[in-house]
């Protein structure tokens, strides 16, 4: 099985290479020595992760060729536009989007305030059109391994917070490596997110061992381990980790202080900036619908995300979770999340926007709507079944009831029906 199409290197300039996918060009960073024009490679998150022999690449490309052209056609057909439905106000804002002008806060608000379902469906279509214009039919798929649910923090929203009375687990170093190997060998993943609570049992030595071993499998090592020291992140970069998911959660300082006791927004944002500066591919974002957050906060969340210049936007709805202080909060509407995807696509047109599992948890089928409304990447959980329910950052996580194979099949069918291909999105 294959979650990435090999690309051919057609030009090299310093550390940047231009690669080709059936005529589509992408810019990627060379992260391996010994690459020359004509080589076939896999890229993930804009980074070259593995060179593959020409014969192997040609066989895979042959198998993909017709499917790829078919996917391109489907995607183009699904990205057609009809703007006739709009009110004048919203139309004026969308004309700016068409002209690639940036939106101010009040224009973002105009879009968030749309309620008519017909208008909203056109809003999502336009976001999808912009996504298609910027990225073609590329869609990246990352595997995620939840390797420990121990956490020293007490974030109010999170089901694995320190004070949660839950059964804890932690894979040891060898187990993480063997789960990763299985995801790479059996399922074909080319990028793996390693996620955990803030678990200090995982010290530098253990994390270095994990990162080195997984990088050696020829995949992108993507960390999601919370607010650990900058020095640790630097060390892990040095041994091969290349991407990092760290959300700032909310741009509202008072809310942050309340919901993440003992930590500050400034420290979190400083760490995100430092990680970006180290060279990591950065995914960041926020939670939608935290109690007390206003529409202005949500708009600021989008703007702070853009300011941090991430390679990927990662945001999702709050899922109120039993045993947490936010257990009784109201559920966020699916429309608010879809509007956030669309508006993010408009304010940062070439962003990569992740559809999170939390959106699908809100309403089955919402993942498809997210992908049809401006989003262009997703993750598949490859945590072994015995741990999945224990990694309960929120309740009723979508996909937990299914086997990994089923989730993969369903995702591939979904992407096929939407005309999306697993080519890499490249760097900008
Ligand atoms: N401990 C790390 C990574 C694991 S948590 C960290 O905090 O960065 C990953 C993400 O899960 C968090 O960034 C948060 O945005 C999200 N999350 C936690 N609890 C949630 C909930 N109840 N609903 C929705 N998202 C939640
Ligand atoms: Fe820990 Fe992350 Fe959950 Fe906060 S969100 S309690 S840091 S796992």
Q: Where are the domains of the chain?
A: 7-77, 134-418
| Positions in the chain short of pLDDT 70 | 1-3, 80-88, 424-428
| Alpha-carbon distances of 416 from 25, 68, 339, 359, 420, rounded to whole Å | 21, 10, 24, 20, 6
Q: Is 318 in the pocket of ligand 1 (CB under 6 A)?
A: yes
Q: Is 195 in the pocket of ligand 1 (CB under 6 A)?
A: yes
Q: For helices 105-112 and 88-98, what crossing angle results, to 10°?
A: 120
Q: Is 45 in the pocket of ligand 2 (CB under 6 A)?
A: no
Q: Minimum-distance ligand to the CA of 224?
A: 1
Long-range pairs of 336-340 with CB within 8 A, sequence gap ≥ 24? 336/112, 336/288, 336/289, 336/298, 337/288, 337/362, 337/366, 337/370, 338/120, 338/124, 338/366, 338/369, 338/370, 338/373, 339/111, 339/112, 339/114, 339/120, 339/123, 340/288, 340/298, 340/302, 340/315
Rounded CA separation 207/184 (Å): 19
- DSSP letter (8 states) at residue 17: E
Minimal-distance CA residue to ligand 2 atom 3: 158
Minimal-distance CA residue to ligand 2 atom 6: 161
Q: For helices 230-238 and 204-215, what crossing angle results, to 10°?
A: 30
Q: How far is the CA of 423 from the centre of ligand 2 (A)?
A: 32
Rounded CA separation 180/193 (Å): 10
| pLDDT reported for residue 74 | 81
Q: How far is the CA of 229 from the centre of ligand 2 (A)?
A: 16
Q: Which two tokens stand for residue 291?
A: 């109690």
* Fold of the CATH domain 7-77: SH3 type barrels. (2.30.30)
Return the sign of the alpha-carbon dihedral for residues 287, 292, 295, 301: negative
Q: Is 226 in the pocket of ligand 2 (CB under 6 A)?
A: yes
Q: Minimum-distance ligand to the CA of 287?
A: 1
- Residue 110 in contact with residue 94, Cβ under 8 Å? no
* Fold of the CATH domain 134-418: TIM Barrel (3.20.20)
Minimal-distance CA residue to ligand 2 atom 8: 197
| pLDDT reported for residue 271 | 98
Q: How far is the CA of 140 from the centre of ligand 1 (A)?
A: 21
Q: Which two tokens stand for residue 74?
A: 């489907």
| pLDDT reported for residue 2 | 43
| pLDDT reported for residue 426 | 55
| pLDDT reported for residue 201 | 98
| pLDDT reported for residue 1 | 35
Q: Give the ranges where 79-172 is alpha helix by DSSP (H).
A: 88-98, 105-112, 117-135
Tell me which residue has tokens 């690669």.
19
- Residue 148 in contact with residue 197, Cβ under 8 Å? yes
Q: Is 315 in the pocket of ligand 1 (CB under 6 A)?
A: no
Do the strands 191-196 and 140-148 form a parallel or antiparallel pair, or are they unpaired?
parallel
Residue 350, helix vs strand vs coil: coil
Q: Is 6 in the pocket of ligand 1 (CB under 6 A)?
A: no
CA-closest candidate to residue 42, choices 30, 24, 55:
30
Q: How far is the CA of 145 from the centre of ligand 2 (A)?
A: 15
Rounded CA separation 379/130 (Å): 22
Element (H, E) at 43: strand 40-44
Q: Is 343 in the pocket of ligand 2 (CB under 6 A)?
A: no
Rounded CA Rg of the chain: 21
Rounded CA separation 360/353 (Å): 15
| pLDDT reported for residue 221 | 96
Q: How far is the CA of 144 from the centre of ligand 1 (A)?
A: 14
Rounded CA separation 424/242 (Å): 15
Q: Which atom of ligand 1 is nearest to the CA of 227?
A: 8
CB atoms inside a 10 Å sphere around CB 67: 12
| Alpha-carbon distances of 356 from 164, 224, 236, 332, 362, rounded to whole Å | 23, 14, 25, 14, 10
Q: Is 209 in the pocket of ligand 2 (CB under 6 A)?
A: no
Q: Report the residue among 163, 255, 393, 398 best suited for mutation to probe ligand 1: largest number of ligand atoms under 8 A from its CB.
A: 393
Contact partners, residue 2, CB within 8 Å, separation at least 6: 60, 64, 188, 422
Q: How far is the CA of 293 from the centre of ligand 1 (A)?
A: 17
| pLDDT reported for residue 61 | 86
Q: Is 358 in the pocket of ligand 1 (CB under 6 A)?
A: yes
CB atoms inside a 10 Å sphere around CB 292: 12
Q: Is 216 exposed, middle or buried (0-12, 13-18, 19+ CB in 10 A)?
A: exposed
| pLDDT reported for residue 425 | 52
Q: How far is the CA of 321 from the centre of ligand 2 (A)?
A: 13
CA-closest candidate to residue 326, choices 161, 152, 148:
161
| pLDDT reported for residue 176 | 98
Q: Is 238 exposed, middle or buried (0-12, 13-18, 19+ CB in 10 A)?
A: exposed
Does the pTM of the predicted model rise above 0.85?
Answer: yes
Q: How far is the CA of 158 from the centre of ligand 2 (A)?
A: 6
Q: Which atom of ligand 2 is nearest to the CA of 151?
A: 1
Q: Minimum-distance ligand to the CA of 393?
A: 1
| pLDDT reported for residue 301 | 98
- Work out the widest C-alpha separation in the chain, in whole angstroms: 60
């Amino acid at each position: 099985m294959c979650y990435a199409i090999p690309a051919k290197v057609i030009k090299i300039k310093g550390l940047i290479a231009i690669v080709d996918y059936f005529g589509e060009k992408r810019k990627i960073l060379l992260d391996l020595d010994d690459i020359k024009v004509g080589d076939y490679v896999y890229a993930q998150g804009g980074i070259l992760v593995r060179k593959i022999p020409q014969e192997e690449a040609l066989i895979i490309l042959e198998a993909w060729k017709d499917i790829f052209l078919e996917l391109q056609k489907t995607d183009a057909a699904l990205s057609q536009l009809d703007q006739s439905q709009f009110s004048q106000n919203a139309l004026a804002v969308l004309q700016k989007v068409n002209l690639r002008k940036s939106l101010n806060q009040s224009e973002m608000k105009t879009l968030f305030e749309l309620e008519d379902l017909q208008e909203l469906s056109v809003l999502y279509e336009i976001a999808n059109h912009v996504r298609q214009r910027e990225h073609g039919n590329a869609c990246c798929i990352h595997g995620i391994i939840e390797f420990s649910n121990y956490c020293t923090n007490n974030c109010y929203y999170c089901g694995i917070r320190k004070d949660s009375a839950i059964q804890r687990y932690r894979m040891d170093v060898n187990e993480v490596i063997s789960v990763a190997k299985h995801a790479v060998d059996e399922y074909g993943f080319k990028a793996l997110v390693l996620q955990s609570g803030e678990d200090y049992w995982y010290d530098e030595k253990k994390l270095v061992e994990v990162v080195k071993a997984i990088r050696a499998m020829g995949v992108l090592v993507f960390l999601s381990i919370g607010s650990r020291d900058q020095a640790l992140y630097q060390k892990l970069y040095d041994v091969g980790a290349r991407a990092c998911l760290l959300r700032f959660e909310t741009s509202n300082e008072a809310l942050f202080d309340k919901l993440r006791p003992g930590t500050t927004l400034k420290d979190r944002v400083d760490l995100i900036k430092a990680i970006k500066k180290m060279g990591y591919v950065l995914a960041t974002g926020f939670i939608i619908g935290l109690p007390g957050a206003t529409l202005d906060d949500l708009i600021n969340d989008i703007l702070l995300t853009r300011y941090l210049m991430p390679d990927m936007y990662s945001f999702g709805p709050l899922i109120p979770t039993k045993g947490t202080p936010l257990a009784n909060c109201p559920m966020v509407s699916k429309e608010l999340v879809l509007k956030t995807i669309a508006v993010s696509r408009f304010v940062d047109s070439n962003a990569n926007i992740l559809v999170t599992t939390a959106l699908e948890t809100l309403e089955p089928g919402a993942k498809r709507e997210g992908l049809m409304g401006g989003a262009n990447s997703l993750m598949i959980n490859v945590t072994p079944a015995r741990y999945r329910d224990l990694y309960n950052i929120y309740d009723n996580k979508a996909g937990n009831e299914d086997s990994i194979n089923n989730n993969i099949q369903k995702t591939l069918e979904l992407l096929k029906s939407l005309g999306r291909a697993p080519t890499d999105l490249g760097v900008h």
